[in-house]
Amino acid sequence: MDKKKPSFFIGYDPKEDIAYRVCKQSLIKNSSLEINVMALKLYELISRGFYKRSIDPLASTEFTYSRFFVPFLMDYNGWAVFCDCDFLFFQDVEKLFKELSNDKAIYCVKHEYTPKEKHKMDGKTQTIYPRKNWSSFIVFNCSHPSNKKLNIEELNSQTGSYLHQFKWLDDSEIGSLDEKWNWLEGWTSQHNKGKPYAVHYTRGGPWFTEWQDVEYAQEWIKERDEYLENKYNNIK
């Protein structure tokens, strides 16, 4: 990859504002790189006339589809990362960028994930589909010619399966990341005895009262408390 400062887009949903705040803090705190970190807010895309999709009743968050706008928002130039807001970072993201190749259009963790739960953390139906959770953490090579297929017309018309299963790409253009970058709480630890670089609370996070006992809950709570303390100190 080139040396241009990478950008991070974190999916934003008002009902999980604190998850976004904690995710962002953990990302910046653990990064030795200078990075741009932005909230991917649906209402901003709508107000700018970019996002014109109708409401999908199966969409569990406001960033279900907006994540795929990243190459367009980057003007198809440079590297950018999208992640869901329900992540907590432990590892320096410099490590993430060390082994990327310009011949790949995207990189992701290629999970083989079939959740047992029928509902997500906020009561939404848990939809099962191929390549589930691959799109929850995507490193986009925005300059790659194949990502130019994600133009504004396609982004507003293509199906969820087309986008989330990366059907605009050849499989050879999808690079593989170490699963430690998208460590699925309650799942990855069943077969991986290592330590996560970034935990993904895909079942439910400790910002919900009914999900206080998940893996790495205490680490998230500690990060949240640090965020709230810093926020309070900055407004005194």
**Higher pLDDT, residue 55 or 227:** 227
Residue 117 has pLDDT above 90, yes or no: no
Cβ neighbours for 21, distance < 8 A, ≥ 6 positions apart: 224, 227
Q: Is 123 exposed, middle or buried (0-12, 13-18, 19+ CB in 10 A)?
A: exposed
Residue 221 identity (one-letter amino acid): I
What are the chain's domains? 7-235 (3.90.550.10)
Structure tokens belonging to residue 215: 């893996």
What pLDDT was estimated at residue 2?
47
Q: pLDDT tens digits, residue range 49-99?
A: 999 999 888 888 999 999 999 999 999 999 999 999 999 999 999 999 998
Average pLDDT (13-19) is 96
Does residue 173 sit in helix, strand or coil? helix
Token pair recorded at residue 125: 């139906």
Tens-digit pLDDT profile for residues 85-115: 999 999 999 999 998 999 999 999 999 876 6
User: Which range among 26-30, 66-70, 230-234 shows the weakest confidence by mean pLDDT?
Assistant: 230-234
Over the stretch 134-153, which tens digit does the pLDDT of each residue have? 999 999 999 999 999 999 99
pLDDT at res. 234: 66
Residue count of the chain: 236
